[in-house]
Amino acid sequence: MKQLIWFRNDLRLRDNPTVAAALQSCANNEPIFGLYLYSEAQWQAHDWAPIKVDLLLRHLKELQQEAAQWGIALHIKSVRDWQTVPRVVRDFCAEHEIQQVYWNCEYPLHEQRRDRATRNWLTDNGVAVTSFHGEVLVPPILRTQAGAYYKKFTPYFKAWQQHLRTTGLPKPYEKPNRTAVQCPSFPETVDYARRDSSAWVVGEHAVWQQLDAFVAEQVRDYNADRDLPAIHGTSKLSAYFELGALGPVTAARRLQQLAPEFPDGLNEGAHTWLSELAWREFYQHLMDAEPRLSWGQAFQPHTDAFPWNDSATDFQAWCEGRTGYPIVDAGMRQLQQEGWMHNRVRMIVANFLVKDLHIDWRKGERFFMQNLIDGSFPANNGGWQWSASTGTDAVPYFRVFNPTSQSQKVDPDGSYIRKYVPELAHCPQREIHAPEQWLKLSDVDYPTPIVDHKEAREGFLRKFKAL
């Protein structure tokens, strides 16, 4: 029986339940097809960053070649948009006489609609469909005792860990002893802006090496180091989780090597990193439970009445890193230069946009997606709504980050600021976080703060409380 693996954001061969199922069901001499569909129009509609597209295509090329060695012919095809996908998949199955299709579920609304339509088209044409939850460790099935989905992370995390204790991790599988196949052609041209992502490795082997190095050398101190943007304290694996080049099962299995009683027994750093994996899945859980999140609506509907500031000048200053607050400007310039920003700084710049400049969080959410190499719709939406106090389990609205004190806390000697705001390279450490006085005595072209934090904070609290 001919099999098809429909790849999505699960671009890996190992620890992928669709690949495991196809290999188990298929005899060595039977063909296995792979299919990856992309749409430039869909990328545009979902604000995919050019650097993310570049990383995707580089990794796809590596995956396609390795899949051929596994005996899987991975075809990569362009489609106009998601509405045309059911017909394209049906026609591909008809052309290659495929009788069984496997895929991993995706949870945003458009993807769920696409999959329902595709399943209907295939089953109507006699093609069997089996779906898995290969993008998460725990499917979005967790419920409270009252039968509702979890709206707070802490109880969700407890239930999430209990699910892992009960089910355990799936067993790994090795590269099969199958005859290699000819590698299908790779798209010669893609009609989408590209930005060089060569600073990021591609290919499963290279990504696994990066994971191994992080777990061996850094995860123990992760709980302390993750908040310091001047050091290499985070895993920088988020882009690979987003593409599915790295599966959550692989990451969990590495942690299990540190504590056989996993998910218990981990040291503080490893446990903190495990909670970050759970946060990623919590936001997918919410996306599955609340379709309105896919439409750009706030989780707390009453907050959509907030009187946002529409100042294009303020927003542009934030985008370009010209706010006059060094830690905010350093973060935004890192994003522009590298297509990535340290996670703690993401929280600071997001809080500043919403609670100091009073600009709609959706504008920031979109700008991040347009520039981040690891832009994830569920995680990005969840993070922005957390910062804006509009989402579930959000930071209380009265908690407004002071960008100066945050800067002193996370970048005490100003190393991060000096790297990305070179105008302040020679600013003394005692003034680097609020350099207004130093600027008056020096010939440096750096803006004064575009907003008074104390006044902006009071205005935000007043407006939010009125809701």
Binding site for FAD: residue ranges?
222, 234-238, 273, 276-283
Instruction: Give Cβ neighbours of residue 47 (< 8 Å, ≥ 6 apart).
Output: 366, 369, 370, 375
**Cα separation of 118 and 12, whole Å?**
22
Which residues make beta-bridge pairs with 128?
100
208 counts as catalytic: no
**Cα separation of 399 and 465, whole Å?**
12
CA–CA–CA angle 356, 360, 365 (5° rounding): 105
Residue of 351, 361, 365, 371 with catalytic role? 361
**Cα separation of 141 and 164, whole Å?**
13
- What are the φ and ψ backbone dihedral angles of 295, each rounded to 5 degrees? -105, 10
Residue of 40, 223, 267, 279 with catalytic role? 279
48 counts as catalytic: no
**Cα separation of 284 and 289, whole Å?**
9
Tokens of 286: 């919410």
How would DSSP label each residue in 99-150? -EEEEE---SHHHHHHHHHHHHHHHHTT-EEEEE-TT-SS-TT---TTSPPP
Which residues make beta-bridge pairs with 32?
3, 72
Residue of 40, 223, 267, 308 with catalytic role? 308
9 counts as catalytic: no
Assess contact for 209 and 245: CB atoms under 8 A.
Answer: no
How would DSSP label each residue in 25-69? HS-TTS-EEEEEEE-HHHHHHTT--HHHHHHHHHHHHHHHHHHHH
Which of 114-133 are b and which e, b meaning 16 or more Cβ less than 10 Å from the residue's Cβ? bbebbbebbeeeebebebbb
103 counts as catalytic: no
Tokens of 198: 């060569």
70 counts as catalytic: no
Give me the amino acid identity at 449. P
384 counts as catalytic: yes
Task: List, as residue ranges, the binding site.
Answer: 222, 234-238, 273, 276-283
- Is 88 strand, coil or helix? helix
Residue of 9, 223, 267, 276 with catalytic role? 276
Residue of 9, 223, 267, 343 with catalytic role? 343
Name the DSSP class of 297.
-
Residue of 6, 82, 384, 386 with catalytic role? 384
Which residues are designated catalytic? 276, 279, 308, 343, 361, 384
